[in-house]
Amino acid sequence: GDSVTQMEGPVTLSEEAFLTINCTYTATGYPSLFWYVQYPGEGLQLLLKATKADDKGSNKGFEATYRKETTSFHLEKGSVQVSDSAVYFCALFYNQGGKLIFGQGTELSVKP
Amino acid sequence: SAVISQKPSRDICQRGTSLTIQCQVDSQVTMMFWYRQQPGQSLTLIATANQGSEATYESGFVIDKFPISRPNLTFSTLTVSNMSPEDSSIYLCSAGGLAFYNEQFFGPGTRLTVL
């Protein structure tokens, strides 16, 4: 069945470091791909999305490109801030049925 | 976008009791969902709340344990019945549909602790 696998956390970085959080997926169809962020004590917020192969989603300095050939959707940011400390979830989504399938989440901690 | 509120935000309950969680959306939505997030874990879909018909449950979740109502296009409830400590989790409501280009928006969650 469909699944999403993320790199294990926690990931600890210094402020202004480069961030990559790996995400790979297994899908029987052609899903959309999402990154959600969960700040401490809060619900999930959509960070960015890509709906088809080679699409790049971007928001708040974060980027991810939908790579069908490597079944990946890695999250990147050039310079992280302390305020980026959160748990990041990669997810795939099929329009039909509307279900989200989440990865296990990656906790990011950014130190000043 | 859609703004989703949940009540209660948190609760501490005794074993064997039931708790009903409410989810309110600020606009009409086609689809509403209930997820569970156990401590330190990812989100697991419990069920899809269908307006005007019974909810559709995922494998491992049953209606007797998690009855769901969806009386209209902006509101849903999830009841956690006959609770045990293993039910201690964050329960999240989400909503989406074609009107939102199939994005899903999440409520802030209900943090449940069962003693």
Each residue's pLDDT tens digit, B33-80: 999 998 878 899 999 998 888 899 999 999 999 999 999 999 999 999
Residue linked to tokens 């890695």: A74
Bridge-based pairing state of the strands A106-111 and A11-14:
parallel
For chain A, say whether B97 makes contact (Cβ under 8 Å): yes
Instruction: Kindly determine whether residue B42 and residue A32, on different chains, have CB atoms separated by under 8 Å.
Output: no
Instruction: Kindly determine whether residue A43 and residue B103, on different chains, have CB atoms separated by under 8 Å.
Output: no
Is pLDDT of B100 > 70? no
Model pLDDT, residue A91: 94
SS3 string, chain B, reads CCCEEEECCEEEECCCCCEEEEEEECCCCCEEEEEEECCCCCEEEEEEECCCCCCEECCCCCCCCCCEEEEECCEEEEEECCCCHHHCEEEEEEEECHHHCCCEEECCCEEEEEC
Q: What is the pLDDT of residues A60-100, one digit of tens each?
A: 999 999 999 999 999 999 999 999 999 999 999 876 666 78
Is pLDDT of B97 > 80? no
Distance from CA of A92 to the nearest CA of B (A): 11
Amino acid occupying residue A8: E
Coil, strand or helix: which one is A20? strand
